[in-house]
Amino acid sequence: MSYNLLKGKRGIIFGALDANSIAWKTAERVFEEGGTFVLTNAPIAMRMGQIDELAKKTNSEIIPADATNIEDLENLVAKATEILGGKLDFVLHSIGMSVNVRKGKHYTDQNYDWTAKGWDVSAVSFHKTMQTLYKQDAMNEWGSIVALTYMASQRVFPNYNDMADNKAYLESIARSFGYFFGRDKKVRVNTISQSPTATTAGQGVKGFDDFISYADKMSPLGNATALDCANYTVSLFSDLTKRVTLQNLYNDGGFSNMGVSDALIEKFSE
């Protein structure tokens, strides 16, 4: 169902890999709501994924960019405004990666070169993206920038490894940069803290399936899906949320306010 919430709005969507990814679902929903955008991902991710299919489906162009590389970002922003015919109204940062997780390094035994790489990709890239947008004055007033995060930034989830630290840093960047973006350009910056979601990235975390089922039993409304997250993001890109900024917004079926649920107690008393 479309409400035309993003009619005439232009933006950039980072991180669509395949049909399971939140960025992919968000691109589909933004397109349905009348928004136009360019898609971007790192060249290696583009080789692994099916982003061409999404581009066709949403009449979008793809601009490859390494989000940790300032030159790539400058090129991305300049080209996006040229292709779309003006300044941007929305940006989705939906990228994260931990080499330590990928290579099975425990949190107590990190390879710090890998830690730095993951931190750059998952968190600092958000600062680099916003700094580039800010310096190029590429956002329209009342524009909206959203990054995706996870509850492990605030509480302990043992297998989330150094990604927990990356997400905490990402959320801090959203607040700190969001202040200046709001004050100087009337642009809002928020993070969405999403339920564990069965994406290609999520499935790299050890014990992930059990964890999804735990979170689902803990949450009164059950886990939020990738589509739920896409819909929430659309609302944050729309003019209906003009004064919402510097927030970390939970889209998690209520998980973040739960101590324990009946369903979990029942499971343990079996």
Catalytic residues: 150, 160
Q: Binding-site residues, please?
A: 15, 21-22, 95, 167
- Helix, strand or coil, per DSSP, at residue 95: coil
Rounded to whole angstroms, the Cα distance separating 8 from 253 reads 31
CB burial of 1-28 (b: ≥16 within 10 Å; e: otherwise) equals eeeebbeebbbbbbbbbbeebbbbbbbb
Nearest Cα residue to 100 out of 23, 21, 165: 165
Please return the burial class of 159, using the count of CB atoms within 10 Å of its CB with bins 0-12, 13-18 and 19+. middle
Rounded to whole angstroms, the Cα distance separating 59 from 36 reads 8
Contacts of 208 (CB under 8 A, 6+ apart): 159, 196, 198, 202
